[in-house]
């Protein structure tokens, strides 16, 4: 990536951030391999670690894609029960024996869970307060009529981290450090763990905005970084393809990535509470990153900035 340039094309978005988005900490734009805009707000800087919140889920998806490329993943439609049954209660819901990796990735398991239109999850605090997160997840019943229907569920995302460890022998942090962060020259990270020591699969990853941009550029490059293939283009295509009907204002869910379109331009993105976002826009060869204050109850989604200011600016080049 070339040196940063404060491209005037993105000043309208920058001004809107200063005026109407007090929670935003950083805003970066890269296009065609060049960093066109980078700015930090409210005293934050390029070395600040940002709490990705649910954008962590998208990184878990990439790690599973790397495991798939290394031949460590079972078939997507094979039940995962044998890999998780050690955490199950004495009388598990019999439907658990049928749930697949594909259903976990697309959040179509039918697990009993409640999520609001702004992705607020009713049971998340109870989940976090439990002593054994894996046991909590395996005690959730499966609602048969909900299987195959999208239901945003962070508990299933954490189970993916547990499965990644089962299949690779590494925690998500250890695996990422070897096979994702190291090739991308990412060294300044933190990742929270469950009470049992698994890297949190639904939230908990902390990265700099520049390193988040690298994640987006890897996806833009179809899984290849500086000539080295880390995961397959097919996995990324599946991750960023819609696998459900549109959900509220967020778009459609893939393998732990959202996809949407604005004015005919399609894009995919990782999204975390507060406005932690990585946008991948293949047809414009661009990546956009926002980081924001994460400890908020309500926030203004930076997606509005993307659609109103940033996409038009990118299209003019």
Q: How many CA atoms lie within 13 A of 91 on its CB side?
A: 0
**Does the CA dihedral 208-213-217-220 come out positive or negative?**
positive
pLDDT of residue 316: 85
Give, in degrees to the nearest 5, the angle at Cα 124 between 292 and 106: 80
Residue 125's CB: how many other CB atoms inside 10 A? 9
In the block, which residue shows the tokens 């998500």?
A: 172
Q: What percent of the chain has pLDDT over 90?
A: 97
Q: Which tens digit of pLDDT belongs to each residue from 284-295?
A: 999 999 999 999
Q: Band the pLDDT of 304: cuts 50, 70, 90.
A: very high
**Range 180-189 average pLDDT:** 98
Q: Band the pLDDT of 6: cuts 50, 70, 90.
A: confident
Mean confidence (pLDDT) of the chain? 96
**Range 164-182 average pLDDT:** 98
pLDDT of residue 2: 42
In the block, which residue shows the tokens 């970084």?
A: 225
Residue 302's CB: how many other CB atoms inside 10 A? 27
pLDDT of residue 5: 58
**Range 127-137 average pLDDT:** 97
**Range 303-314 average pLDDT:** 98
pLDDT of residue 163: 98
Q: Which tens digit of pLDDT belongs to each residue from 9-47?
A: 999 999 999 999 999 999 999 999 999 999 999 999 999
Contacts of 215 (CB under 8 A, 6+ apart): 58, 59, 62, 184, 207, 270, 278
Q: What percent of the chain has pLDDT over 70?
A: 98
What's the rounded Cα separation, in Å, for the pair 272 and 278? 9
Q: Is 64 exposed, middle or buried (0-12, 13-18, 19+ CB in 10 A)?
A: buried
Contacts of 105 (CB under 8 A, 6+ apart): 61, 64, 76, 160, 239, 255, 256
317 has pLDDT over 90: no
1 has pLDDT over 50: no
pLDDT of residue 52: 98
Q: Which tens digit of pLDDT belongs to each residue from 191-232?
A: 999 999 999 999 999 999 999 999 999 999 999 999 999 999
Instruction: Let me know how long the chain is.
Output: 317
94 has pLDDT over 70: yes
3 has pLDDT over 60: no
Contacts of 41 (CB under 8 A, 6+ apart): 17, 18, 24, 25, 26, 27
State the DSSP string of 236-250: HHHHHS--S--BTTT
**Range 139-151 average pLDDT:** 97
Beta bridge partners of residue 259, listed in sequence order? 252, 268
What's the rounded Cα separation, in Å, for the pair 10 and 14? 6
* CATH 3.40.710.10 at 8-315, yes or no: yes
């Amino acid at each position: 990536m070339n040196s940063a340039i404060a491209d005037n094309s993105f000043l309208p978005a920058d001004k809107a951030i200063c005026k109407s988005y007090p929670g935003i900490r950083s805003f970066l734009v890269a296009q065609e391999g060049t960093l066109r805009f980078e700015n930090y707000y409210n005293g934050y800087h390029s070395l600040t670690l940002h709490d990705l919140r649910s954008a962590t889920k998208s990184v878990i998806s990439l790690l599973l894609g790397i495991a798939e490329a290394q031949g460590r993943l079972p078939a997507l439609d094979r039940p995962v029960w044998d890999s998780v049954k050690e955490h199950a209660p004495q009388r598990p819901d019999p439907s658990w024996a049928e749930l697949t990796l594909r259903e976990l990735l697309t959040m179509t398991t039918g697990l009993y869970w409640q999520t609001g239109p702004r992705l607020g999850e009713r049971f998340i605090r109870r989940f976090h307060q439990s002593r054994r997160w894996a046991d909590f997840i395996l005690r959730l019943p499966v609602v048969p009529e909900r299987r195959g229907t999208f239901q945003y569920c962070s508990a299933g995302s954490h189970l993916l981290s547990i499965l990644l460890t089962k299949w690779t022998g590494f925690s998500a942090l250890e695996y990422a450090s070897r096979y994702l962060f190291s090739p991308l020259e990412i060294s300044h990270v933190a990742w929270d763990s469950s009470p049992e020591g698994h890297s949190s699969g639904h939230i908990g990853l902390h990265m700099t905005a520049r390193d988040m941009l690298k994640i987006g550029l890897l996806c833009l490059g179809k899984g290849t970084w500086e000539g080295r293939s880390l995961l397959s283009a097919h996995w990324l295509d599946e991750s960023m393809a819609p696998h459900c009907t549109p959900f509220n204002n967020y778009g459609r869910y893939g393998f732990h990535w959202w996809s949407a379109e604005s004015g005919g331009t399609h894009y995919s993105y990782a999204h975390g509470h507060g406005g932690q976002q990585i946008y991948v826009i293949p047809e414009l060869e661009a990546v956009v990153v926002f980081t924001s204050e994460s400890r908020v109850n309500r926030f203004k989604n930076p997606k509005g900035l993307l659609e109103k200011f940033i996409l038009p600016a990118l299209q003019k080049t």
